[in-house]
Structure 1
Amino acid sequence: MASSMRSLFSDHSRYVDCFRKFLDNSTEHQCMQEFMDKKLPGIIARIGDKKSEIKILSIGGGAGEIDLQILSKVQVQYPGVHINNEVVEPSAEQIAKYKELVAKTSNLENIKFAWHKETSSEYQNRMMEKKELQEWDFIHMIQMLYYVKDIPATLKFFHSLLATNAKILIIIVSGTSGWRKLWKKYGPRLPRDDLCLYVTSVDLTQMLDKLGIKYECYDLLSTMDISDCFIDGNENGDLLLDFLTETCNFNSTAPPDLKAEIMKDLQEPEFSIKKEGKVLFNNNLSFIVVEA
């Protein structure tokens, strides 16, 4: 590996730009929206039974777009019931955006928000030290388990916080996605960073099986338009390539042989489909629902 290659996570503002570009070019949020509309009402059907307050814990809530969708579904299911929504998010920038979104969103009167600027493991340690483990009716972890050091311990801890009829919703890239194949084939040749693990739904369901935790797994199709990656000097393409490889300025720092191999593979059927002149990377998502 060329020494000039460095992890995308070493440059926070570049990472944020790449992530935004990924959201612009993928059906990630539309895929999540489809799940929230079709599947979530059934999943949360009993979480608030006979309760005067519903307690929801968002782990890695980001800027809150998906969180507010979840909350709106809970409001429909339990009209007028008070909701206590606590958010664990390590990025001050994301928390600020979340608060802005809440400020300009109507119909949130019955929801109390609290934000904690910390990682899931920092939250876990704080709770263990206080020895006041609170029970939750719904916990969700959306696209965040890649950033957790000890995933089985994290799953076990949050599972222990579930109240009667409670659920945990985990969203993570599917084992059928192009991500899994990309990480498996090229992971050892790309700059690794302790901040991020190559983990998919396949790894996660194996961990849950080992822990003896009951769950259901749903896969939904999602794509990312990576056509710009094949246009020399295209800024959008460069950002998407950085996101795909988790490498800062991949285009200008990767060894030519590695770059050629990845660019060729990204157009192969196991990674992407070609449709109407576009190259669509397989960004399939898994939605894992864990039961109390």
Structure 2
Amino acid sequence: MKAIVYTKYGSPDILQLKEIEKPVPKDHEVLVNVHAASANAGDWHLLRGTPFLVRFIYGILKPKNQVLGSDVAGRVEAVGSSVTQFQVGDEVFADLFGCGFGGYAEYVCAHENVFALKPANLSFEEAAAIPTAGGTALQGLRDQGHIQKGQHVLINGASGGVGTFAVQIAKLFGGEVTGVCSTGKMDMIRSLGADHVIDYTQEDFTQNGQSYDLILAANGYHPIFNYRRALGSKGTYVMTGGSNAQMFQAILLGPWISMLGSKKMGNLMAQPRHKDLVFLKELVEGGKIMPVIDRRYPLHEVPEAIRYLEEGHARGKVVITVK
């Protein structure tokens, strides 16, 4: 089968389209013919091996897993002898983050519990845009942010993959939502349901005197104490993405700031959860949320897709069409 492979850390230029061995499902695994995948910030972090701490998990000198890609959607081609949830021909989608990645390939093999039936009303490309970004937004707002109806919620990086889901999910949970994005993306964020939109090129939300009950930082950078200033007296700040400085401040300083006052600040390490995937599927099928896709690239153009995503200007998701 064809796959995008990397054997050392570096820029997207080192990615190569190669023929590798097609996987064979074990007893509890399913083999999926991948129709689409999607790119995430984690791809270029793993590709470059940055921040360096990720290498202690994924390989110090070279990557343990040589095929990137966590989000996939496709059709079941074969099932292991003990599989009970799926049969050949089922249309499924998944987040492969916890089982070795491998989405930038014609086939993937993983435990049946990793997959869920694809939303019936979406194409494979649309379904592949959901797992990582949708799951991160959901866990950041609901599980770590403990969002409540009527709260003032700000999404920094509202126009990216996580941000576009976060705006919709925050509205679904009854929040009064402010989205932060660049000038050309303001209308899109309003169309997703945001009550207020701030153009970060014209206004700094951490300096305008407004306060929020919950801030989800999905992109960008502000010093953590600036985020703290923008929180209400019992507000919560959740960092789900952005610059390395933003991440390290949330990890290292967030717990200390939380201990010293009533404002809670921290970092979310989102994890793939089957129940969340099913929940997102139900929201999509109910017409309550929808993925936003910026660009589509064929499999052999994954380097260009990751390069574009790394620039930080994508409107929603970047999708890879495999079949």
Q: What TM-score results when the alignment is normalised by the length of structure 2?
A: 0.39
Higher helix share: 1
Q: Name the TM-score, length of structure 1 as normaliser.
A: 0.42
**Greater RCO (CA < 8 Å, at least 6 residues apart):** 1
